[in-house]
Amino acid sequence: MTHIQFGFTLPISNSGLSQQTFLSQTRVALETIAGHFDSVWLPDHLQFGNRPLFEGWTMLTYLAALRPEFRYGHLVLCQLFRNPAHLAKMAVTFQYLSQGRFLFGIGAGWAEEEAKAYGLPFPSSGQRVSELEEQLQIITALWREESVTFLGRYHQVHQASCLPHPEPLPPVLIAGFQPRMMRLIARYADWWNTGVDTLEKARSQVNALDAACKEVGRDPKTLRRTAMVQCFCARTEQKAKEALAKQGGPFGLNIVGTPAQIVEQLQPFIHLGFDYFMIAARDFPHDLTTLELLSHEVLPALNKGH
């Protein structure tokens, strides 16, 4: 039987709450999911209009020191923001200080607004994928080799070292679903992450990933399938119905319902091979009900008999 795990995707915005309230709710949320959820995840963005946003690496470091029992990662690091050798060094440092609890999530980058606002290049989608591949080649080489020289089209390092090497090597999670990204994921990723919003899209993406793995000679079963989920879990059907019209987000599967209904909605995705769900609780940080019900009712039901 498949063992299902949840990660908690925290927002990098305080959602209009005071500093004291947001920090307090964050601490209570981590306490609520402790012993139930496996990990904590943060987005990596710099700007969405004038919405207040926190920087993802800094916040991740704070949370890891606050609650060291979780694993930690980003959904996902934007390869446009950081030099790859520097990023490899940041990951090594986090892996060392967290005693091996880092999950390395990365993607090609998609938000043109923030790149332009912060004076960062925003090339074509094809070039962004090519840049990401060079980043992955440099980062994974630095994690394994004593000295690395890499002369790519977009990135170069010269006799670079990144010591101490990470122990263990962080799992590499790559988010994406377009054909070129699927081939890159099949080559470099340990975990695949996607934001499917329907079962039909999920099935299509899984088939595309299997085909990409076959193309590069990889067993698809060696690539963990993970999905982003926007979730509102209510104690009663009436509460769920009231929330349904208000729910919806730009990323991931959007599920609303009682614990039993959440279990029912996740099961078809589990049958497709997804065993890890990164949950954005739609009522957090104002309310902790979703996290409480997921921890104490949904996860046990999904893993019953395991």
Q: What is the pLDDT of residues 8-29, one digit of tens each?
A: 999 999 999 999 999 999 999 9
Phi, psi of 145 (to 5 degrees): -110, 155
Residue 172 forms beta bridges with which residues?
Answer: 104
- Going by pLDDT thresholds of 50, 70 and 90, the confidence category of residue 211 is very high
- Going by pLDDT thresholds of 50, 70 and 90, the confidence category of residue 306 is low
Q: Tokens at residue 156, please?
A: 């170069």
Instruction: Give the integer Cα–Cα distance in Å for 80 and 4.
Output: 32
- Model pLDDT, residue 246: 65
Instruction: Give the integer Cα–Cα distance in Å for 236 and 244.
Output: 12
User: E strands within the chain?
Assistant: 5-9, 39-42, 71-74, 77-78, 102-107, 148-151, 156-160, 172-175, 191-194, 224-233, 253-257, 274-281
Q: Tokens at residue 132, please?
A: 């990401």
- Model pLDDT, residue 252: 66
Q: What is the pLDDT of residues 42-78, one digit of tens each?
A: 999 999 999 999 999 999 999 999 999 999 999 999 9
Q: Is the pLDDT of residue 251 over 70?
A: no
Q: Over range 122-137, report the average pLDDT.
A: 98
Q: Over range 150-177, report the average pLDDT.
A: 97
- Model pLDDT, residue 156: 98
- Model pLDDT, residue 58: 97
- Model pLDDT, residue 239: 85
Which class for 282: exposed (0-12), middle (13-18), buried (19 or more C-beta within 10 A)? buried
Buried-state track 126-151, b at ≥16 Cβ within 10 A, e below 16: eebbbbbbbbbbbbbbbbeeeebebe
Read off the amino acid at residue 272. Answer: L
Buried-state track 45-79, b at ≥16 Cβ within 10 A, e below 16: bbeeeeeebbebbebbbebbeebeebbbbbbbbbb
Q: What is the pLDDT of residues 171-180, one digit of tens each?
A: 999 999 999 9
- Going by pLDDT thresholds of 50, 70 and 90, the confidence category of residue 297 is very high
Q: Tokens at residue 127, please?
A: 């070039």
Q: Which CATH architecture has domain 40-175?
A: Alpha-Beta Barrel (3.20)
pTM to 2 decimal places: 0.95
Cβ neighbours for 184, distance < 8 A, ≥ 6 positions apart: 129, 132, 133, 136, 174, 176
Closest CA to 298 of 248, 261, 247: 261
Whether the CB-CB separation of 305 and 31 falls below 8 Å is answered with: no
Q: Over range 184-203, report the average pLDDT.
A: 94
- Model pLDDT, residue 247: 55
- Model pLDDT, residue 146: 97
